[in-house]
Structures are given as C-alpha cells and as structure tokens.
Structure 1
C-alpha cells in the first residue's frame, strides 16, 4: 500500500520523534537540550557506554554516530518492533489520530482475499483444537504428555489434531459454505490431477498453528504420530498468506521480549521453540524447515543485533550452520551479526531443557561462538596447509566468501581480521618448522630472545604495547593508519614490524599473506612471537609469549569496551610522539649552544609551546583513562556482589 507524502508528514507533525524514541531510551542529561529539540542517548540498536545516538526534533531524524543507524518515525518503529512499513504507518496513524485513506480497489480485493483465507485457517484451527480435545485426539494428548507440555502451553499455542481421515476437515469446512477452491488456496486440502476428489492435506497428525505478526493463523505444521509416518513434519504449502522464506514461527510472541532483553534465540523446529518458551525463554523463534533466507536474516535483526542460532551438536546441525553462514554473509551490516550455539552430545533444545533445565540451556547459549570464529573453524578444519598452493587456496576461499558482503565497512573489517589471523597461522607454522630444525638442546623463548636482540629504551614497553594492540585490533590500526605508519619508533625491529603491519593493511587485496610471512627473518619472527596476543586463534606454545600483551596492559583481562581500548591506543601514540618531540627540542637546544639565530630561536619557542600544550592534553587524557579503568575494574566485582 502506498501512502501520500502529505499523510506521512501529518503523522510526523502530530507525533514528536523524541517522545516516540524516548519510550525506548534514556536521554543523556548532559548533552540533551530539549529547548532546541536536540536529544542524545545510548543507541538502542547496538551496545555502547557513551551516548552517540542523536535525535533532532526539528528535522524529524535520528542518527547513531556509532553504528550508523538512521531514519525517521516510521523507520524507528520498523526497526524496534519488527513491523513492515505499512504496519508502522498504521500503528503511528492510530497513535496520532490521523485517519488513513481507503485502499485502492485492487489492494482492497487482495486484502479481502487474505482476510478470507485467514478466516478459513481460523476455522481449521478451531476444528483441530476440538478434535484434539475429543475421543480421536487421545494419542495426540498422550504424545504431548510425554513431551511434558503443560495445559497453559497447549492452550497458548492452540495445539490440535488432524484425524486420520481424507475428508474430515474438508467436510467440516464445506458445511460452513467454504468452497473447495478456497480450501486449496489456503493449503488445507490437496487437489490431485485427473479430476479425482480433493482430500485433506493433514491426516493423523498433531497440529500446531503458524501465526503471522498479527497473531492470525495463516498456516499449520503437523507432526506425524505414527512411528513409520513420513514425513515426520509437514508444513502448509506456500499460499497468499504464508511464505516460508519470510516467516518465523512464534515471531509475534517473541518480538517484544527480544527487544527488551536485547537477545533472540533461533532454533530449527517449532516444538523446540515451544519447549523453550514453556521453560521461560520468551525470545525464541524457529525457522520453518527450510534453510535461512536473506529475508529471514534481516528480519531476525529486528529482534536483536546478534541473535543466537541454536543447532544440534551433531553433523547435521553443523552442516545446517554452515549453510546458514553462506546466506548471512551477503547481508551483514555494521552492528549486526549472529552467534552460533552447538548443543552437546547431539541433544536438541528440548532434550537439554529436560535434562539440565533453563540454567543449563542458558549456560550453553552463553558460550555461543561468533560468526567469524565458526567460519574460521569451518575452513581451517578442512584444509591442509603444507604447500604454498594449499595456503593460497585457503586464502581464496576466505576471499570469495568475504567478497559476498555488500556492506563495504563490514567487508573491510572482515578482510583485516582475516589477514591478521592468517598471518599468525602461517607465521606459527613457519616458526614451528624452524624450531623443529634447530639444534638439540637449543631453547627458543620468543620473549627472552626478543629482549636480548633489541636495545632497551624508555619507550621499549610502550612501543611493544602499541604493536601488540595493533595486531589484536587491526581495525583500530586501519582507522589510524597514517599516524601509525609515521610513528617515531626508537627500535629497529619495532620499525620493521610496524612496516609489516602497514603492508598487511595497505596491500589488503594484492599481496597474499603466505607471501608476506615467508619473508620474515629470524629476529622479526622472535619479536612477533612476543608481541602476538593470545586470542589470535593459535595453539599455545609458551605461556609467557602469549601473555606479554596482557602483562603490559592488564586491564585487557577485564574485557574493556572497544572505545576505551582505542582511546588508550591513541594515548600511547601521543606518548611516543611527545617523547620524539621532546628529543627534537633537546637537539635544537644543544645546537643552540653553538649557534643561535632568529630562525632557530623561533623554532625552539614553537616546539616548546607545542610540547607544553600536548603534555597538558596528554595528562588530561591519562587522568580520564585512569578513571574509566577504575570503573571497568570495579564492574566485575559489582556484578559478582549483586549475584
């Protein structure tokens, strides 16, 4: 349905955007200026500590300067409540007291058709419910009892039973003047070829209605009650009401709990979703027996920024996860991703809830793995990397997959993370080969060797820290590439490593990683071992070499927010640049003892002023970082005390 711009403007004029958004956020009192229609809050679309979400009442627009989310009244309602644009317009028009125009005749006919089919599906749902409660539903009731489904759950999800008869539902609907054509169109009966009579699609099955976003019954899922019955699960076919590639089971119930909790759980079957809902996981939805589509992926992000996809831990579950990954990658966008939870011992969610309860299930979802980690394991586990050709093939598989990401920012972030992770993998292989070929009795300690081969300086620790953070957070290096590439490092090996890191970032799509790592010499390998962080996905060889970054920056143990890490990184750059500036001033003063002219004096004055100003700024930044660090360290203790 199309809406006139005048109508949309009238709705916007009657509803203040800040009032609409204010139902979902808490305004920051320091930055917000209500008199100017200027509002700031932490973004409702991604997790952040400092407010970067801005609402401008004068322009009727919102924008997050962190994740890039932006829009108006209608966009906000669509994104936070999972509504389509027409549904959002209808909702806001009702709130604003604005009458919507009558739909055009063609749209009205389509809506009447859909309403008629929904009414027929509702008749079928009531019929199945009555059969479930009657004599023919005894086996269905026994099955539900064995699954531990409560009376409240059975009522909420409107469980029913389809009798093992070819015409039971057909006769019921015909008695209510429903034509066979409409029964077929609603997906309830099948019309065979050759002019034979129509017959019921669902027979001898436990019936579960599938409801749309409004809660209307639009389709059914049927589980066979016969041990030999095939297929085990049968869904309604595609109809004008029901589109498998778009719909999610239980979406109308899960939408609000998912938004409030910021979490969503996705399971494979609707009975698993019902079991979790009964156990207290209100933010659960299920796919409908098909591989994820892009439409479903985008729709899931309206529930939560990082839904947890919960698969059985067997080979079929892993294969399903891998299929979903290929559908997810093209539509990845800033601030939105997925996590994957593989249940233990081949159990499904229902089994896990029965054996370990809600806490056991939550413990598993808390261990859910990031999308990138699952992709990494998928490719590495099936790869042999003993030749340059096989390494190149691995890089190509990653490049092909990441190349499908349409969002340029996310694609570059994945490319950076991948190249750094591959460089560490190939580097470790080469290092192990070199260790294996060493002399008997020779000990290789990257930390000790690194320190022996470099000259100590006042900046030694800070330089190593900056290099380690650059390897741990390559996107941070990318954002500050020019400044990092010009960094005045005092140590020759540090400068070599800086140049290697810059080449990895700068040659993002040109030079293969295997080619870069093959050129590393012995001293550079040693210093990389000492600098490399423990979270790069490598097997631990020596505790000290992997903990060096943590030793230099212990706050990393507390998992500080990324904006804090970047602020600290920039501060460390300031420190190194200030020290270089201080040395430059000292050199100028030393030269002035021999020859001081007007030009030299003006340069000394300029350097002195610049150095003083930057020292003051650096001191303020250090104090701010120290205060934030204190709060970060105390946060885990506060959480533990609350528990």
Structure 2
C-alpha cells in the first residue's frame, strides 16, 4: 500500500486533533490551543498541548510529539496502515489502491537509507583513525567540542578514489551511485565523490541521513561539496539541522536561518539550537513555507559582507509573493566581514543574542537596501528608488499586505526627502501652478498623513463628486491610494463604495469606467455608483461626461481638478481644527499674535472656498 505525501496531508487536515485526543484524554481550552495532563507519562500539572491549526500535539515534559497518525500508533497501539485506515474511514476518504511501482520505489528508498547509514558509520570511523588527524585538528582549531562532534555526526572521507566504494561494496556499485556516494562518468569505473573532506551528515526531519556535505581540508575547490539530488535528497526542499531545530523551536518560539551548516553548528554549540540552513542555494519558496509551519516570522542571520546581504535580499524577494497575514521574515545584519561563528568567538553568545533582540522587519530591510543601492543625488535617482520600491510592492500577491507596504514606503520616502519642508512646501502640495488657491498656512495646520480624515456635512457633497469622478476616471484611484484610504465618510454606503473602488484598483492595474461598473454590478455598491454618475448636482469638471474620443486637454483638466478636490478634502479638517483652536486662543488671550494667526487661517479657508468655486458651477457648494 503506497500513500502519497499529498494524500496523507489531506487526511491530517480533515482530522480535528483535539477531538480525536479528547475521546480518551480530558482536555481543556487554553487560548488557541488545548492542554491536558500528558498520557505518555505521569504528571499532575498539564504540560501536554494540542494545536489544531498546525495539526500536532507536544508534551513539554517528556517530549512526546506527533500528528493524528502518530497518536493512533503511539497511544492506541495500531500499526501505521491500521491507523491510516481508521482515520480515513472517519474522514470519509478512500485509501488508495496498492501501486506495485510505488511499492518498489518505497523499497528502493528504504535500501538507500541503509546505504546512507552505512556510509555515515564509515565516515565517523575514519575520523577517529590515523587518516583523520588533519580533520580532527581542523575541528579543534574551530572550537568544535567533542560533544558537538558526536551530536552532529562529523566524519572524514579519506583522499582516495576507491576506499568508500570498497568498504561499502556489499551494497552494490549501482546503489552507491544512486545514493550520490560514487560518481559515474560514461563507461568509466565509478569513483568516490567525497575525497579528503570533513564530512557532515544531512538528515531529514526524522533524523535519518539522506545526504552529506563535505568541507575540503587544505587547498582545493569547491570549498564545500554537497551530495547531488537523489531519491532521498532534494536540495531545494531540505533544511540542514531541521531534525534538531524543530523541537527546539517549540521551546523558544523562534527559528534562525543562517547561510551554511558550519554557521548552524556554531550557533547550536553556543546555545542557539533553533537554527537551520539552506544547502548551497538561496532560500527557496518551499523552504520558506516549511519554516512558516513552525514559526510565523523566522529570523534570517546572513553574513555582513556583500554576498551575505545579496543572499538576504534574494530571500526577501522570494518571500514577497508568498506573504500572508502574520507570516513574514525578519533579519539581522552581522558586522561586516563576520559570520555567526566569527562574532561568537570574538564577542561571545551575548553579542549574538543582542542582535536577535532588535531584528529588522521585511519592509525595513527592503527600504534600507534600496536606499543604499545608489547615490540619491538627483531627481532621476530618487525616481529610481521610488520605482524599485513600487516593483517590490507589485510582487506581493496579497493585496491588503501590498497596500500596507505601499503606504509605508510612501511615508518613508516623504520623510527621507521632504522631512524639512515648511509652509511653502505644504502650499505646493495643495495647489497647482497658476491656481488662485494660494493661501499659506503652516505645516501644523495640515492633516497628519497617518490620521484618518472624517468627512461629513458640506464636504460630504464634495466627497460624492469625488467618488463619481473616480468611477469616470478609474486610473486616478491608484494615484491617490494614500489619501483615499484615510477617508472616513459619514455616509456608510459611500464609505463602502470608496473601499470597493480602492480594493478593485489594487487588484487590477488598468481599469476603465465600463469595466469598473461591470465589477461593481456584482456588489451592493452598484446602485450607489450608478446614482453618482446620474447626479446632476455633481457638476465638477471630473463629473462631466466627456466626448468619445475626448481631447487630451479635457482629460488632463478633469484629472487635475479631481486631484485638487481630493487634496482639499484631505486638508480641510486640519485647517478647520486649527482655526477653531486659534479662535479659542484669541478669546482667551486677546493678543496680537493669536489674532494674526486666526486671520491667516480664515484667509486659507476662504481660499479653499474660492478654489472649489472654480472647480464647479454650483454656487452653494460650500
């Protein structure tokens, strides 16, 4: 009977683990998990937890750990297949019929496991022999303790083309080639792959040796050599030290990711056992997903040199399309020229622990990398930074997360290049060249970009016009994401329509009015949208039906006026609040300075009114 990993995953997903365990063990709810006294050892205080979301149980007392199938075999005493059949019947799944070819493949893998176990024993034996002196000296020089040597299974491959082939000859040459231990080129005799190298076994999550990594001793290339992909080993889907890091992470709630296995071993020896490493490649999508099953925000600890930082950014770029709520990556940057082992040997474990306390989040990592990518000494280079950030946002599949990144990058960009703008800069934000809308008021009166803008009263009529304009000109929605997401309209139907417009613009970069209406037709907002298109009172330039084809100057004016209307709505609440505060100070103090401030703000308010009168033919807009 052969069961694919996909079929077994589906079986586990259909079983509610707490319900299964709760039939024989008294459990109680504890936050998002369940707890109980462990059924595998005697205890009075519950240390046994059940996590339905992740599909496993774990005892912090005795270390018992497993999924639904493991529960049936360990607690109920069933065989694996009997456990699967019982669970499948309950989940209403049919157990696949026997597949002779798959059975042969399973037998083949079992044989390869025997081969790899024999090779591991042989390499360990060689390390302790006469030829292993140089390898033992290397380990001693790097500060690797005897306990670490045993725990991680270090071995040695003699500098010979045939010693391993002769030692494991009973397994057959073809099997040794298939396991990646011998190299076969054309019709020549196969020869040992690993020669004159310190050997590090690579294990699967169950602790079985599936491959090897070999570090050259002395001169030679490559410095590190890994097993090729085999029926047991897929380099892009395997994480070094996962068998030890997985249980450790359940204690720490953390996973560290480093560049290579020697870094992982050094950290584990220094007291950081929750560490894994990819195997000679950048972190792959599958490896990221595998880590996310253990923790939601692993910490990537790459070297401080250029190569390490490039590897960190490759991981960041691969993660962007995969991001989902609460799942991301964190980063720490090591001092230039140092890897984790260098840092710990130079300054001790506390220095590394201090870095872990303040990791960079993913958005901060991307921003700092792009900011330092080139000198930002011209308008063109600054525009290049903005484009690179936009490209990163475009790679994010989850549109809610993409919008948060878009807003954060915009805020960082403005802070970096416009942090010191005064009242004149604020004026430029709210008026176009040649416009009578030229009132000057200080930055303190403008609405803070990060705060919501409540829209009610007379401004709600302008908001209706803006919504109608956005429906007629959908391309403008994405240009004003930041302001539109801050609006809080007093009318709930208008607010729902605004939210839907923003959502659809984030999902689809190119929208025309008819396409947008077709989408809205499937929502509760459609009638409101059609009503705004028919409203005669909304007589702004951007609400008017343009001829087809429309002259470019009419389209440009409509877009320009729509942008100004949005800016007015954004700024007016802050201006009104500032005017009220100034009026209060005049009444309290009656000093000349307060009076001058009040008059300046009144002039600014009048400028808002004057500009809106230009944008519409309606006399009583304000």
- CA distance in 1 between counterparts of 2:207 and 2:178 reads 20
Match of 1:593 in 2: none
1:258 correspondence with 2:249: yes
Residue 189 (structure 1) aligned to one of 176, 182, 189: 182
Write out aligned runs for 1:216-365 (5 A): 216-226=208-218, 228-365=219-356
- CA distance in 1 between counterparts of 2:481 and 2:399 reads 24
- Checking the alignment, whether the CA contact within 8 Å between 1:338 and 1:370 is kept in structure 2 is yes
Match of 2:197 in 1: 205
1:16 correspondence with 2:8: no
- Checking the alignment, whether the CA contact within 8 Å between 1:249 and 1:285 is kept in structure 2 is yes
Cα displacement (A) at 1:210: 0.4
Cα displacement (A) at 1:501: 5.3
Match of 1:138 in 2: 133
Structure 1 window deviating more from structure 2 (160-169 vs 307-316): it is 307-316
- CA distance in 2 between counterparts of 1:209 and 1:148 reads 19
- Checking the alignment, whether the CA contact within 8 Å between 1:222 and 1:234 is kept in structure 2 is yes
SS of the equivalent of 2:320 reads helix
What are the ranges of 5 or more consecutive residues in structure 1 without an aligned counterpart? 29-40, 45-52, 55-70, 82-86, 438-447, 455-463, 478-483, 491-498, 532-643
Cα displacement (A) at 1:500: 9.5
- CA distance in 2 between counterparts of 1:225 and 1:432 reads 67
- Checking the alignment, whether the CA contact within 8 Å between 1:79 and 1:302 is kept in structure 2 is no
Structure 1 window deviating more from structure 2 (91-100 vs 499-508): it is 499-508
Structure 1 window deviating more from structure 2 (415-424 vs 302-311): it is 415-424
Q: 1:400 to 1:93 in 2, by over 3 A?
A: farther
Cα displacement (A) at 1:353: 1.1
Cα displacement (A) at 1:405: 1.9
Q: 1:347 to 1:255 in 2, by over 3 A?
A: same
Q: 1:431 to 1:204 in 2, by over 3 A?
A: farther
Cα displacement (A) at 1:385: 5.7
SS of the equivalent of 2:450 reads helix
Q: 1:375 to 1:114 in 2, by over 3 A?
A: same
- CA distance in 1 between counterparts of 2:418 and 2:563 reads 10
SS of the equivalent of 1:420 reads helix
- Checking the alignment, whether the CA contact within 8 Å between 1:20 and 1:73 is kept in structure 2 is no
Cα displacement (A) at 1:307: 0.9
Match of 1:503 in 2: 484
- CA distance in 2 between counterparts of 1:96 and 1:397 reads 55
Q: 1:324 to 1:5 in 2, by over 3 A?
A: closer
Cα displacement (A) at 1:488: 7.8
Larger radius of gyration: 2
Q: 1:403 to 1:115 in 2, by over 3 A?
A: same
Deviation track 1:62-112 (CA, whole Å, cap 9, x = no partner) reads: xxxxxxxxx99585239999xxxxx84532432463544386433322221
- CA distance in 2 between counterparts of 1:143 and 1:165 reads 19
- Checking the alignment, whether the CA contact within 8 Å between 1:340 and 1:374 is kept in structure 2 is yes
- Checking the alignment, whether the CA contact within 8 Å between 2:260 and 2:279 is kept in structure 1 is yes
- CA distance in 2 between counterparts of 1:338 and 1:376 reads 14
Tell me the C-alpha RMSD between the 2 structures: 4.4
Residue 156 (structure 1) aligned to one of 139, 151, 154: 151
Normalising by structure 1, we get a TM-score of 0.59
Q: 1:355 to 1:432 in 2, by over 3 A?
A: farther
Write out aligned runs for 1:183-582 (5 A): 183-193=176-186, 195-226=187-218, 228-382=219-373, 390-428=381-419, 449=442, 468=448, 471=450, 484-486=453-455, 502-503=483-484
